[in-house]
Structure 1
Amino acid sequence: MNSFYASVEQAHDPSLKGKAIAIAGNPKERRGILVTCSYEARARGVYTTMSVWEAKRKCPELILLPPNFERYRIASKAIFEILRSYTHLVEPVSIDEGYMDVTEVDMNNDAVSFARSIQDRIIRELDLPCSIGIAPNKFLAKTASNLKKPMGITVLRKRQVNEILWPLPVIDMHGIGESTAKKLETIGIISIGDLANAIPNLLKEKLGKNGVRLQNRANGIDNREVDPESIYDTKSVGNSTTLPFDETNIEDLEKVFIRLSKKVAARLDAKNLAGRSITIHIRDANWKNKTRSKTVTNRLYKEQEINQLALDLFQASWNGDPVRLLGVTVNNVYDKGESVEQLSIFNFEEHAKEEPILKLVEQLQGKFGENSIKRGMKLKKKPSLESKTSFSKDFLDDHDHHK
């Protein structure tokens, strides 16, 4: 989708059409960062992630709106329903983007007209613009969809990779961020073509398995299938905040960690998840980013444990520089109902007390079947506000046909 949140607002209120508008997490504060902006705003030099004050300076007539999650969610669901009317092989990637495998769809050998009919239908029914990439695999389709916006339809064939992609800088390639681009630059890889033709061992040495994967992509190779189920595998739950001003007071920073840990724990609880590791994210006043991680033995979901681990990591790595942003993420998450706690010298006694219960559960399962009774309760996800806080993936619970 093109400028999705801004486009939804313009569809909802046609008086906003043709105007420079932006959605900001917190329009009234400095920490208000633009989540997205209309193409009219982009033409004035405004871009996503720009701060509110800077955007207003560049474009004084910019109309700032707070995000309306429910509105975007309804629009997203309607878009995916349209896509699924053509094929069940639709894989949502986020609230405003997805893949379709149309191999088996009868389109009279005219993929471009087929794509145009989808694009026209989304405009006609929902008044929302989108760009479509047509290609033999996911990576090329995603790349093609970015080549022409808004309302673009682009075909990218494997044989065109060397003429269309190779001259571009590596940072333009889907899957490569700033840190990877900088690592590649240290070994003389500047363009996508350099990456495609690099010595494989050199890439493996610098980037590990990811280096091999990225080189394949740069050569137009991607064997991933379109998987309608993949979106429901949450991998991490996190929260971050930009501070109202650059902070050096440790007590105030500790209060921020308490707030972040509380939010992360609430979201884990709302989704009935626990994690295996934690990461903190620190951005200083000079916009330098630092992350620190730790893997834990037992399942991580309690607020106090998350907070303590986050603080320990922070105190071990903070050099006293003013802090602009803090973030806490619990990674490698899984359903609590399916987890088994590791026994340790500290908790074996409480497990020993439960041994008779475990034996009883085993006997009942033997008699009535494995799913007749479970140790612990596998709770249904709570449809609370806490489980709906992400701009992107949390909304995709709406598409889960298992519910």
Structure 2
Amino acid sequence: MIRNIVHLDLDSFFVSVEQLRNSKLIGKPVLIGGTSDRGVVASCSYEARKFGVSSAMPMRMAKMLCPDAIIVKGDMEEYSRRSLEVTEIITSRAPVVEKASIDEHYLDITGMDKFFGCNVWAHELRELIIKETGLPISFGLSVNKTVAKVATGEAKPNGEKYVELPSVNSFLNPLSIKKIPGVGGKTYQLLRSMGIEKIHTLAHIAPEQMYRVLGENGITIWQKANGVDETPVIPYEERKSISTETTFDKDTTNVDYLNQLLQAMVMELTFKLRKEKRLTSCVTVKLRYSNFDTETKQVRIPYTALDRPLIDVTRELFNKLYSRRMLVRLIGVRFSHLVSGFEQINLFTESVEQYNLYQAMDKIRRRFGEKAITIAGVLKQ
């Protein structure tokens, strides 16, 4: 059976939300992110993109490219609320929904063409989202997730594109290899050094050569260039919490060690949050004493998935909680009230250096395992 996959993407989502809140921003170059020169651009309007500004760019560079840009710090809680509104509209109507990020959804509407025209149905859903939320949104409809996502990119801003099976290759062939999901900066430069610029050229490279150059990822990219992608749409489920705890072989009162262990636990959980594209707004610390009395403290915070603010909050909770000075048997941390999102979108106060550090640490963990980086003091115990 030929699949029908829809990719929905909210256009310049953070900027669009801010424009709803302040109509004076409409039609202006707007940057969302850290307001200092050391900050990072989390999102930017199409007017700012004309000057060469892009997401994840250092704010200092963005202001040099677009000196008249209006900078807005951003409100993650408001963005999460607006995202949930869109998700609720989609899940109330679509049979299978995958929330890929705070502003992206995949829908599997295979079989619905028997009762509705899939393109007509997707158009009506998009119109409903715009009417109910006021947010601009684009969609691509095709036979798999890759082609649907590329189609959305071609439909932006605030448009629609339907690519039927017979037109898949003719649609992809003239596009830049940058358009293929999964082709990042380094892969793009490598392929360009091989003389590959268009998807048509990449599609006709021998798969064995792609494997020699990029390994298994080379085969995946080659398949996508040929319009092949069997990846399923994974039904959307919002995880409520994530936690970890440690029970000691020997009860302890070593406060320095407990603080170091808490820091290591937070770093482990924040990596999982970023890996799963989640953000938390509630932190809980749990202590169990040697007499088995168990106490907890929690606090609500602005949405984040970054190590530094969560470590600070966790230490503060521990200092308030650990008042008895008794031997501790167990310690734990839980992050709850999770929403979909990813680390870049919360860089409203983070520096470029801090962002790069998180990226480097996560890369090491993905390659060598989640415990590849931890606190030195914990290892000494």
Pair 1:127–1:183, CA change in 2 (3 A): same
Cα contact 1:20–1:61 (8 A) shared by 2: yes
- 2:40 touches 2:57 (CA, 8 Å); kept in 1? yes
Counterpart position of 1:51: 58
The Cα offsets for residues 343-395 of structure 1, whole Å up to 9 and x where unpaired, read as xxxxxxxxxxxxxxxxxxxxxxxxxxxxxxxxx99x894227999873569xx
Equivalences for residues 309-348 of structure 1 within 5 A: none
Where does 1:72-83 land on structure 2 (aligned, <5 Å)? 72-83=79-90
CA distance in 1, matches of 2:341, 2:82: 15
Query: Structure 1 residue 207: deviation in Å?
Result: 1.1
Give the equivalent residue in structure 2 for 1:27: 35
2:14 equivalent in structure 1? 5
Contact residue 123 and residue 160 of structure 2 kept, 8 A: yes
Q: Is the 8 A contact 1:107 1:114 kept in 2?
A: no
User: How do 1:127-138 and structure 2 match up within 5 A?
Assistant: 127-138=134-145
Higher relative contact order (CA 8 A, sep 6+): 2
Contact 1:22 1:37 (8 Å CA) reproduced:
yes
Partner of 1:382: helix, strand, or coil?
A: strand
Contact 2:180 2:221 in 1 (8 A): no
Task: Report what 2:349 is aligned to.
Answer: none
1:319 is matched with which residue? none
- Verify the 8 A CA contact 2:200 2:225 in the aligned structure 1: yes
**Superposed CA offset, 1:186-230 (max 9, x none):** 444332112211112111111111111111111111111111158
Tell me, yes or no, if the aligned pair for 1:271 and 1:382 is still in contact at 8 Å: no
Distance 1:109 1:22 in 2: 40
Q: Secondary structure at the match of 2:32?
A: strand
Q: C-alpha separation between the residues in 1 aligned to 2:174 and 2:228?
A: 17
Structure 1 gaps of 5+ residues are 235-260, 276-326, 329-375, 394-403
Cα distance per residue 1:283-341 (max 9 Å; x no partner): xxxxxxxxxxxxxxxxxxxxxxxxxxxxxxxxxxxxxxxxxxxx99xxxxxxxxxxxxx
**2:343 partner amino acid:** S
1:37–1:182 CA distance, 2 compared to 1 (3 A): closer
Q: Distance in 2 between matches of 1:55 and 1:381?
A: 37
Pick from 59, 64, 84 the counterpart of residue 91 of structure 2: 84
Structure 2: 5+ residue runs without aligned partners? 1-9, 242-260, 276-305, 308-329, 347-381
Match of 2:343, SS state, is coil
CA distance in 2, matches of 1:135, 1:32: 38
Say if 1:187 and 1:228 are closer, same or farther in 2 by CA, change over 3 A: same
Contact 1:123 1:129 in 2 (8 A): yes
| SS of structure 2 residue aligned to 1:131 | strand
How do residues 1-400 of structure 1 correspond to structure 2 at under 5 angstroms?
1-24=10-33, 26-28=34-36, 30-105=37-112, 108-229=115-236, 265-269=265-269, 381-383=334-336, 390-391=343-344
CA shift digits 1:91-112 (9 cap, x unpaired): 0111100100112436854233
Instruction: Report the alpha carbon displacement of residue 123 of structure 1 after superposing the two structures with TM.
Output: 1.5
TM superposition shift of 1:52: 2.5
Q: Return the alpha-carbon distance in structure 2 between the equivalents of residues 120 and 199 of structure 1.
A: 43
When normalised by structure 1's length, the TM-score is 0.58
RMSD, matched Cα? 3.6
Contact 2:172 2:227 in 1 (8 A): no
Contact 2:107 2:233 in 1 (8 A): yes
User: Do 1:91 and 1:99's aligned partners in 2 also have CA atoms closer than 8 Å?
Assistant: yes
Q: 1:20 to 1:189 in 2, by over 3 A?
A: closer
Conservation of the 8 A alpha-carbon contact between 2:80 and 2:340? no
**Contact 2:95-2:109 within 8 A present in 1 as well:** no
> What letter is aligned with 1:38?
S
What code does the residue aligned with 1:27 have?
Answer: T
One-letter code aligned to 1:11: L
Superimposed CA distance per residue, residues 106-133 of structure 1 (whole angstroms, 9 cap, x where no aligned partner): 6854233222222221211111011100
My pick for the range that moved more, 57-66 or 181-190, is: 181-190
Following TM superposition, by how much is the alpha carbon of 1:264 offset from its aligned partner in structure 2, in angstroms? 7.3
Cα distance change, pair 54–264 in 1 and its aligned pair in 2 (3 A) = farther
2:173–2:198 Cα contact (<8 Å) kept: yes
Deviation, 1:48, is 2.4
Q: From the superposition, tell whether residues 74 and 267 of structure 1 become closer, same or farther in structure 2 (CA, over 3 Å).
A: farther
Q: Hey, what's the Cα distance between the residues in 1 that align with 2:102 and 2:186?
A: 26
Calculate the TM-score normalised by the size of structure 2. Answer: 0.61
Map of 1:323 onto structure 2: none
Paired with 1:10 and 1:125, the residues of 2 have a C-alpha distance of 16
Deviation at 1:180, TM superposition (A): 1.3
> Percent sequence identity over matched residues?
33
Aligned residues: 265
Letter in 1 for 2:335: K
